[in-house]
Structure 1
Amino acid sequence: MTSALTIVQVAVSAQRNLQALATHERFLRQRGELTPTAIGGIRAYSAVENARLDVCAEHFAALQPANDLAFEQSPEHA
């Protein structure tokens, strides 16, 4: 099973890539060099990175907390 640390590393990597893409897109737009081809490439790459984030979210949701009493339901004490 994939560890939480590995999932976090993938998620952080994807988020950094998305941030770099946004910065690059802004740079191209400011210089007037944002072509339809560039927009298509940025959108395609962004879709891949967003898919990576979606998979990370699914993996996090599937993790079972180990030895964490905060996640265990206990009866209310009267």
Structure 2
Amino acid sequence: MKKFFCILFIFMSFQLYSLTDDEVKFLKACENGKYETVVAMLDRKVNVNVTTEDGLTGLMLASHKGYPNIVKLLIRHNADVNIVDNVG
């Protein structure tokens, strides 16, 4: 029975973090400095605060990789600067 709940928990965890194609594209664009793609995804109304499985936002990814133009763009689109990742 314990094994069943463990498997069920793992399955449910994957369901919690299933992202749309646009959300994946948005997060990758933030991480890779693709400004025009980020703009296009924001125009498509992607959630600016969407997180990866690890709790990382596009704002975190862009700032960590050193893309100030994307950081400014995301903040102008109301990115939440107070979100923390799974590590805290």
- Length-normalised TM-score, structure 2: 0.31
Greater Rg by CA: 1
Which one scores higher on RCO, CA 8 angstroms, separation ≥ 6?
A: 1
- Length-normalised TM-score, structure 1: 0.34
